[in-house]
Amino acid sequence: MERIEKINVLREKLSLVRKADKKIALVPTMGNLHEGHLSLVKLAQSLADYVVVSIFVNPTQFVAGEDFENYPRTLEADLEYLKHLNVDLVFIPDMAEVYPGDVQITTEVVVPELDSIYCGEYRPGHFKGVATVVCKLFNIVQPEIAVFGEKDYQQLLVIRSLVKNLNLPIDIYGAATMRETDGLAMSSRNMYLNETERQKAPVLYKALMAVAKSIKRGESNYQNLEKNAISSLKNAGFKPEYFSICDSKTLKPPINQDVVIVAAAWLGKARLIDNVAVQSYD
Ligand code: PAF
């Protein structure tokens, strides 16, 4: 596995890869890799000949009150993990590479509407930071394919939207959410749960599954389903931000049965997000 820090070195390397007619896939990450990243890398490997994983903790997607400085950085363990997965190249740029100018007044990428609902409402500016850094990484790596986790469903839609609106020649794929055996979606944030909270955490996924089941059975009073799910989460000790049944492509109110149920809720110090697509649920 090659490890590259500089954009010019990366570009030289990737031009050779392209000359060898290899299809390049990018898996952007912020490091602190865990089993949840496995499906992203595996999917990228199944779609492309050459897989680049980037590790960069992006300051512009942290909003006021969120701790960029203390975000877990586990580079040595991440590198071991990626080597073990046979990733071809890991790109680890520093701040000056990714944000060559003043990071406070950088050029930004905005994905209107989608960036201000659900997680965007509770984390204003977050998706602008994500869209900006992902666009930069796309420009730097110029992959044919990029893979993102379906766990961050809204992020996946934001990225699909930016690729479409900016005419970028990149195919975006969503990798299935990896779950613990009790259903909890794997996430770096799970480490903020204490033992009791960890026992309780799968209740979020169970609530999503229960609503998915009701929709499949023909229940059409979505408002009621949402209201009941929010109360049951509150009763279980969660502080829900949203629990919503929406159109799977736009996150607007559903127009048919192609819906996704998205939720975010605090449990202790952990902000958990998860989603279930009704179409793919059986
Ligand atoms: O999902 C993440 O880890 C980040 O939001 C991403 C896509 C790597 C951008 O920093």
C-alpha distances out from residue 195 to 199, 206, 269, Å:
6, 19, 12
Nearest Cα residue to 55 out of 69, 39, 72, 67: 72
Catalytic residues, by residue number, are 37
Q: Residue 280 — pLDDT band, cuts 50, 70, 90?
A: very low
78 residue type, one letter: D
With a 6 A CB cut-off, is 134 part of the ligand 1 pocket?
Answer: yes
Are 103 and 26 found together in one domain? yes
CA dist 17 and 12 (Å) reads 9
Locate 199 and state its tokens: 């026992």
CA dist 118 and 264 (Å) reads 8
The CATH number of residue 60's host domain is: 3.40.50.620
For 175-217, the pLDDT digits (tens) are 999 999 999 999 999 999 999 999 999 999 999 999 999 999 9
Residue nearest to atom 3 of ligand 1 (CA): 29
C-alpha distances out from residue 280 to 154, 229, 272, Å:
17, 20, 22
Which atom from ligand 1 is nearest to the alpha carbon of 57? 10
In whole numbers, what is the pLDDT of the chain averaged over residues? 96
Spacing, Cα 29 to ligand 1 middle (Å): 5
What is the model's pTM? Answer: 0.96
- The residue among 121, 141, 175 that closes a domain is 175
- Residue 181 in any domain: the answer is no
> Across the strands, what pairs with 173?
147
With a 6 A CB cut-off, is 60 part of the ligand 1 pocket?
Answer: no
For 5-39, the pLDDT digits (tens) are 999 999 999 999 999 999 999 999 999 999 999 99
What residues make up the domain containing 105? Answer: 2-175
Q: Provide CB contacts within 8 A for 26, sequence distance 6+.
A: 44, 51, 52, 53, 54, 137, 138, 141, 143, 145, 146, 147
Residue nearest to atom 8 of ligand 1 (CA): 29
- Residue 120 in any domain: the answer is yes
Are 155 and 38 found together in one domain? yes
Spacing, Cα 76 to ligand 1 middle (Å): 19
